[in-house]
Amino acid sequence: MVKINIYIDGNNLYRSAKELGFEINYKKLRGWLGQKYEAASVYLFIGLVPERVKFYEHLQSCGYILVFKQTVSVGEKIKGNCDAELVLKTVSDFYTKSFDSCILITGDGDFGCLVEFLKDNNVISRVIAPDENKCSILIRNKNLEITFLNELYHKFSIKI
């Protein structure tokens, strides 16, 4: 049996869904990912905000493995970019043979080099981009299958 891991850029997914007018039901999303892609492990990279502990507990109860980045407040904005954590975890899992194949959920061009590395090693099956209109050319130009969530949010989200 092929072991598939999914690595989610939580901020990219959340912001894209919100901009498209959707609120994600993370339990349904986890179910959809498990059913559609037979994911063994689904990692969600997210900024750590102490006041959101209940939400994190909910995500864990839905089956996500959370990977946190310490956040900092810059004015009224909370910053907690998890790009380095996602790259490090994915590459580490590759070298420890923690998966046979993986999927990245992001449209962020900062992950173009990771997509290229995984593709060169024949271990990425696709990228799932949260918004077709905001998916970076640095991901699009890798000659890899991309699934866009624009027409799929209704399966695991509510329109707001």
In whole angstroms, how far apart are CA 102 and each of 3, 21, 44, 59, 146? 8, 28, 14, 20, 13
pTM above 0.85, yes or no: yes
How many domains would you assign to the chain? 1
Q: DSSP E strands: which ranges in 1-140?
A: 4-9, 22-24, 39-48, 64-70, 72-74, 77-79, 101-105, 124-129
Return the pLDDT at 78: 73
CATH number assigned to the domain comprising residue 9? 3.40.50.1010
Using one digit for the tens of pLDDT, what is the confidence trace for 17-60?
999 999 999 999 999 999 999 999 999 999 998 889 999 999 99
pLDDT value, residue 71? 79
Residue recorded with tokens 């959370």? 66
Reported confidence tier of residue 69, pLDDT bands at 50, 70, 90: confident
Supply the range of the domain harboring residue 86.
Answer: 4-159
What average pLDDT does this structure show over 90-114? 98
Supply 151's token pair. Answer: 């027409």
4-26 pLDDT tens trace? 999 999 999 999 999 999 999 99
Measured CA to CA, the distance from residue 52 to residue 160 in angstroms comes to 21
Per residue in 115-141, pLDDT (tens digit) is 999 999 999 999 999 999 999 999 999
| Integer Cα distance of 152 and 17 in angstroms | 11
What is the three-class DSSP state of 93?
helix
CA 113 to chain centre: 16
